[in-house]
Amino acid sequence: MKLPNPYVGIAPVLGRAVPSPDELINKLCSEPERQKGFPYPPKGPVFWIKYGSAVCWNEVCAQVMAYEGLRRLGSEQVRAPGVFYAQMNYPDTHIVMEYIPSKPASQCIDEAQGDAAKETLLRQSMELAISELHQIPMDPDTRPAAVSGARIQYLSVFEGDAACRHYENAQQLEDHFNAVSFDPHCVL
């Protein structure tokens, strides 16, 4: 899924304006005390703004795909926030997305009583989310890649956390993994 930079996605709620690119870069995301994600506006938030050099464009593509796919499926238990606006202004990416009021997963886990309860909550939450996301139809000819079509990234099996090449199909990726697993001097 290739998205233009900047990306303009879903329309905001009536009466709410998405922060402008200038406001994002020069005001909201430039304050040193801000973290890399925050609700906006502070009172009665409707947006979640995520930004920084650790935010990659593929996150935008994956989130748009998850949002649209889960809506088409009619998923009632798993939600992905819609993206209103995103831009890449090297080295930072800014994403203005839907604010979904809820407790963060980390807080739910912290509130669970005992390690077994925490483990069960985490496992069940992950299983549900993965199960729903796996139902999103994919073209059978889709090659293993980032959602944006870029090389696979952020797997510790790849030197530098990125694949050295594009793989044409899952078998080619599996064959490469198998070849490397037998040769300790080989890297992916």
H or E element: which one contains 85? Answer: strand 83-89
DSSP for residue 153:
B
Mean pLDDT of all residues in 58-69: 92
Are the C-beta atoms of 24 and 17 separated by less than 8 Å?
Answer: no
- Reported as a single tens digit per residue, the pLDDT across 103-124 is 777 788 888 888 888 888 888 8
Res. 77: pLDDT tops 90 = no
Task: Tell me which residue of 87, 85, 61 sits closest to 149, measured CA to CA.
Answer: 61
145 by DSSP, 3-state: which? coil
**Per-residue confidence (pLDDT) for residue 158, from 0 to 100:** 67
pTM: 0.77
The CA–CA distances, whole Å, from 175 to 89, 100, 170, 179, 181 equal 37, 41, 9, 6, 10
Mean pLDDT of all residues in 14-24: 86
Q: Can you give the C-alpha Rg of the chain in angstroms? A: 19
Res. 45: pLDDT tops 70 = yes
Mean pLDDT of all residues in 95-99: 95
Query: What are the residue ranges spanned by the domains of the chain?
Result: 7-98, 105-134, 140-188
**Per-residue confidence (pLDDT) for residue 35, from 0 to 100:** 61
Per-residue confidence at 87, pLDDT binned at 50, 70, 90? Answer: very high
DSSP string covering 57-72: HHHHHHHHHHHHHHHH
Per-residue confidence at 73, pLDDT binned at 50, 70, 90? Answer: very high
- Reported as a single tens digit per residue, the pLDDT across 152-183 is 766 566 666 677 777 777 777 788 777 766 55
**Per-residue confidence (pLDDT) for residue 164, from 0 to 100:** 74
Task: Tell me which residue of 56, 57, 39, 36 sits closest to 48, measured CA to CA.
Answer: 39
